[in-house]
């Protein structure tokens, strides 16, 4: 019974999904709360996931020509105010620095909530000629937004992210980069995080403050709620005009640059938890699992068992991230802990296994147990990690398909959201009034106008006027 203690302490996701989530982030030791309200400590098990995300996402960025930079964390108030929509969007939720050392500042500064204004101020000095374009810069940093309600990873006052900011000679090039980065995000989510996403465009109501167009990838969590997982914005030349960023083009005329920005955050860790987790805890996709294989020695005090466990670790460590749990806990406790922490594979090895030249591999995602000869272990581990990566994506995609509904009129729309949890596809006339009505009545928002449009009906699901777009609707985190 004691062996099951860790597991029993988690709330079942079917009873209370929010509490299940909190239990997992704490019990899997991903985060800790702090004295700073709304800010968290990202503990080693959580930060190691972020490092694997960073490494693989950064490599994908660099393949497309992105260069990394670092800009200041402070934005003088006058700079924040230069672009009207942008300041209206962010001013209510920034933290203000008013004193440096013992002196009040001549002008107060906010801690960056995002860095469009700083990049514009930089580009204004750095861009003179078409030869200086494009600029395709990115930074990895933390940002601050003074949220009222916070949840670990999903919404915190400070979070880690990357923010790409580019400048281009033409509108077309900017639009192409905006879409290119959205596709980088979508491929990353699917191939690395095993999270399927819907790619599409935000409505004007939901787009980024100051953007001409915002593109998004939307994922469906296990509880049927939607999570915006990455966004890519095309600013046109709006910021360039507000900040006077001009370049001499090949035809010797001065032109304003066209800009984009795009970001992904530690929120992705929340998505991993809520898409793949189960009632035993975290389930990590192999490509972002800091420990891919946990070796649990059985009867480890018997001669040769621990030695064999470490021998297997050394062999597997050439290609995989491996640890041995050689603590003095019981095997049952170790199994429960390995499940809680989401290690994709657990290898059990005891005296009888050693004698028989075999071991047992247990898959975290399916709980399947497989007996393997020790001399085939390395090959089998590689195959299984690949299989798990692929099947986790397939299962998540099947779950999303099962929880994606169609509504053709308002009654059906209301009924679906009252009875089901998931995405609802429905037609929309394009008017903000309908979005406002839907949000007010159902607490549902437009997630995106997907690139893959379908014609489900001829009329708007809300007002009955002629429809212009199919929209994914959902309850959002």
Query: Of 75, 212, 226, 384, which one interacts with its own copies (CB under 8 A)?
Result: 75
Of the pair 98, 252, the CB lying nearest its own copies is at 98
How far apart are CB 77 and its own copies at their closest, in Å? 11
Of the pair 95, 456, the CB lying nearest its own copies is at 95
Burial label, 73 (beta-carbon count in 10 A; 0-12, 13-18, 19+):
middle
DSSP secondary structure code for residue 83 in this structure: S
Stretch of residues binding its own copies (CB under 8 A), selected from 69-77, 281-289, 418-426, 455-463? 69-77
Distance CA 86, CA 182 (A): 21
Instruction: Label the pairing between strands 293-297 and 345-349.
Output: parallel
Stretch of residues binding its own copies (CB under 8 A), selected from 94-102, 187-195, 224-232, 462-470? 94-102
Query: Of 76, 89, 351, 464, which one interacts with its own copies (CB under 8 A)?
Result: 76
Dihedral, 253, 244, 140, 218 alpha carbons, nearest 10: -90
CB 100 within 8 A of CB 128: no
Instruction: Report CA 284 to chain centroid distance, whole Å.
Output: 14
Query: Of 99, 250, 318, 452, which one interacts with its own copies (CB under 8 A)?
Result: 99
Query: Of 13, 25, 109, 198, which one interacts with its own copies (CB under 8 A)?
Result: 109
Measuring CA to CA, which residue among 401, 399, 344, 394 is closest to residue 367? 344
Of the pair 91, 406, the CB lying nearest its own copies is at 91
CB 267 within 8 A of CB 327: no
Of the pair 66, 312, the CB lying nearest its own copies is at 66
CB atoms within 10 A of CB 370: 12
Of the pair 49, 219, the CB lying nearest its own copies is at 49
CB 309 within 8 A of CB 297: yes
Is 73 an interacting residue with respect to its own copies (CB under 8 A)? Answer: yes
> Given CA atoms 431, 432, 433, 439 in this order, what sign does their dihedral have?
positive
Of the pair 115, 216, the CB lying nearest its own copies is at 115
Q: How many residues bind its own copies (CB under 8 A)?
A: 51
Of the pair 66, 198, the CB lying nearest its own copies is at 66
Is 79 an interacting residue with respect to its own copies (CB under 8 A)? Answer: yes
Residues sharing a CB contact under 8 Å with residue 366, sequence separation 6 or more, in sequence order? 391
Distance CA 438, CA 446 (A): 9
Cis status, amide bond into 134, omega within 30 of 0: yes
Binding to its own copies by CB under 8 A, coded x per residue (else -) over 19-58, reads: -------------x-xxx--xxxxxx--xx-xx-------
Is 142 an interacting residue with respect to its own copies (CB under 8 A)? Answer: yes
Is 70 an interacting residue with respect to its own copies (CB under 8 A)? Answer: yes
Stretch of residues binding its own copies (CB under 8 A), selected from 93-101, 203-211, 356-364, 389-397? 93-101
Q: Which of residues 190-229 bind its own copies (CB under 8 A)?
A: none
> Distance of CA 363 to CAs 115, 120, 458, Å?
43, 49, 47
Q: Which of residues 229-288 bind its own copies (CB under 8 A)?
A: none
How far apart are CB 100 and its own copies at their closest, in Å? 4
Of the pair 44, 304, the CB lying nearest its own copies is at 44
Q: Which of residues 406-435 bind its own copies (CB under 8 A)?
A: none
Of the pair 158, 280, the CB lying nearest its own copies is at 158
Is 102 an interacting residue with respect to its own copies (CB under 8 A)? Answer: yes
Is 97 an interacting residue with respect to its own copies (CB under 8 A)? Answer: yes
- The three-state secondary structure class of 112 is coil
Distance CA 150, CA 166 (A): 30
Distance CA 340, CA 396 (A): 19
Distance CA 245, CA 363 (A): 55
> Distance of CA 6 to CAs 24, 26, 339, 342, 384, Å?
11, 11, 10, 13, 26
How far apart are CB 68 and its own copies at their closest, in Å? 5
Distance CA 414, CA 397 (A): 25
Is 71 an interacting residue with respect to its own copies (CB under 8 A)? Answer: yes
How far apart are CB 142 and its own copies at their closest, in Å? 6
Is 100 an interacting residue with respect to its own copies (CB under 8 A)? Answer: yes
Residues making contact with its own copies (CB under 8 A):
32, 34-36, 39-44, 47-48, 50-51, 67-76, 79, 92-102, 109, 111, 118, 121-122, 125-126, 137, 141-142, 144, 146, 157-158, 160
């Amino acid at each position: 019974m004691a062996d099951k203690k860790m597991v029993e302490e988690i709330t079942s996701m079917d009873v209370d999904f929010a509490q299940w989530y909190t239990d997992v982030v704490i019990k899997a030791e991903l985060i800790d709360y702090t004295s700073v309200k709304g800010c968290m400590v990202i503990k080693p098990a959580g930060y190691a996931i972020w490092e694997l995300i960073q490494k693989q996402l950064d490599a994908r960025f660099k393949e497309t020509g992105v260069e990394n930079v670092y800009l200041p964390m402070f934005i003088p108030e006058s700079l924040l105010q230069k672009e009207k929509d942008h300041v209206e969007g962010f001013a209510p939720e920034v933290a203000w620095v008013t004193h440096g050392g013992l002196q009040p500042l001549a002008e107060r500064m906010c801690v960056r909530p995002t860095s469009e204004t700083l990049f514009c101020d930089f580009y204004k000095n750095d861009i003179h000629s078409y030869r200086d374009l494009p600029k395709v810069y990115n930074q990895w940093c933390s940002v601050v937004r003074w949220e009222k309600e916070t949840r670990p990873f999903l919404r915190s006052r400070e979070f880690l992210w990357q923010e790409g900011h580019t400048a281009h000679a033409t509108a077309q090039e900017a639009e192409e980069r905006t879409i290119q980065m959205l596709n980088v995000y979508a491929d990353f989510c699917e191939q690395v995080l095993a999270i399927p996403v819907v790619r599409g465009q935000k409505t004007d109501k939901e787009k980024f403050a100051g953007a001409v167009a915002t593109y998004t990838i939307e994922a469906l969590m296990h509880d049927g709620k939607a999570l915006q997982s990455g966004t890519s914005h095309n600013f046109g030349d709006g910021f360039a005009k507000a900040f006077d960023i001009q370049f001499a083009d090949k035809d010797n005329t001065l032109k304003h640059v066209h800009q984009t920005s795009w970001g992904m955050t530690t929120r992705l860790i929340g998505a991993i938890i809520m898409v793949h987790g189960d009632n035993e805890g975290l389930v990590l996709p192999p490509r972002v699992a800091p420990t891919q294989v946990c070796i649990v020695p059985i009867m480890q005090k018997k001669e040769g068992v621990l030695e064999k466990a470490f021998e297997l670790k050394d062999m597997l460590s050439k290609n995989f991230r491996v640890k041995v749990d050689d603590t003095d806990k019981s095997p049952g406790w170790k199994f429960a802990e390995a499940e809680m922490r989401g290690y994709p594979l657990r290898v059990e090895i005891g005296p009888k296994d050693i004698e028989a030249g075999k071991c047992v591999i247990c898959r975290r995602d399916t709980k399947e147990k497989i007996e393997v000869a020790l001399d085939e272990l390395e090959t089998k581990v590689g195959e299984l990690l690949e299989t798990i990566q692929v099947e986790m994506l397939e299962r998540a995609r099947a779950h999303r398909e099962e929880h994606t509904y169609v509504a053709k009129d308002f009654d059906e729309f209301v009924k679906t959201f009252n009875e089901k949890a998931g995405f609802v596809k429905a037609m929309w006339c394009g008017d903000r009034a309908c979005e406002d009505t839907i949000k007010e009545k159902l607490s549902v928002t437009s997630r995106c106008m997907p690139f893959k449009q379908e014609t489900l009906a001829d009329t708007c699901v809300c007002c009955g006027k002629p429809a212009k777009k199919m929209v994914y609707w959902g309850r959002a985190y």
